[in-house]
Structure 1
């Protein structure tokens, strides 16, 4: 078996593995090459475009990576800027198809096939469920719940590349329809974690956490509110050191252990973040304080993750953000 797999090229190997049962795919321990390659392609093409902003080849490569990850607006922009070629024309056409452009949707048929897929999914017949969801998308390519369900099938089959792709499309379509679907954000990030691409996973979790952002409760102390407003003004002006000082004064007025001080700790953490590496420990301490005071306040987790990203501890950052979604969605 393994000698057969090793003799294949990487794309044949992926197709072969994708056809296996989830148990066997897990036993093989093979991470799908396409998903990892596309994430790396996104990074390398970004670097190339920083050096040469009009590089048509780099634009085309980044567009393909963006389309794979579900960033269809960004992909279409890259394809349009890349200039005309046979490869560009095909990639652009595929992007428009993924957007659902030019499709006459049959919502009733898509919904019927989705329900059939759901029944198979509940019976853990993931391959058969995926077939139903794929057929549903032929009738409505914009159905974000079908896209996410298809991603979940692939995830359960151990195909994290396709799980990444279809959950990314689910996120995009849910945003287009102004009904952000948290399950799609989480499935997208979880799939990227399964590919062990933790920096990208952290960014994906952050997108999901922003869906749960709620305004913090108001401060109780008028003097604290006054200092907070002064700090906010200094922060916007780029005077982060003075902003941090005034957030500290606001904390003193409101009370270091008052739950309403969580926003002040999170804001001071942000000011420390902009001062960089020298303030990592102070910023992390403030982020932890915000989390402890208000466990359902998303910005505490966000600040902690940003400092972990600054330290290049991307796996820990992804874990913090996943926990944040769980806590804030309670």
Structure 2
């Protein structure tokens, strides 16, 4: 019994000495005296191999020193030893997160990020730490950016766009979209591919997709007038004549003599005037009103207490209505409601 007690006493003493070495290592780490920190953590491990934190702390020092392979080895040992000792899940998660960080430091291509992402995911299954989740998101973003860079090839992008154009001429729009999409992947900064794909989506009646591509086209090159004709065409098809008119007018700022844009303006004005005169079928009016009520801008106008009173005055108080017509801001909103078919002027 006395022999057992002596062994227990010796173990306890070694553990206490190991903790002192750890504290000394922590102090050296804070001073950025990394070599000294390594010596203290290594000594702590010699004294007590049942405390995984000695390994994770030494791994942190190796990480700071740029000794990523040594860091990864210590993290692997920490995970292995931690599982043997049934250590706290948080400790194992910390080791895995540190390993993922070290691996990320040496990543040179998108494929190198696959094991990094996998390691962070393993860490999150042990313990869902916000810092690890942030690192995972950053690694996934870095992988995606590198994939785009590796895939970037303007020459192949142009070839794919030309293939898309051939299919478009043959009215094979789904096939054309496939090639325009590949062109965009090969060169995401070319507005022409987005313009071409927007035209395909419009032909197929996929208006939200067409609108998104047209807006991206304008974003990439605000002077490229095709972006405005594409966007205006989608809005016109959706019977959003007021918005289409604004789009065509915006395009004319960059090319005042563009016939396609000028024709778009004429078509929009014609449709807006039709609505203003009430020269639409009941079905058309109902459809326009239903679409307008989903428009946030129209909703805001109708919910505005001032505009609600204005609309009442137009119906019940001709004198007040006359005053309202002198206010450009009010009349602009009234015009939007007229264009949307919500208000009809007799």
Structure with the greater alpha carbon radius of gyration: 2
TM-score normalised by the chain length of structure 1:
0.35
Q: Which has the higher contact order (CA 8 A, sep 6+)?
A: 1
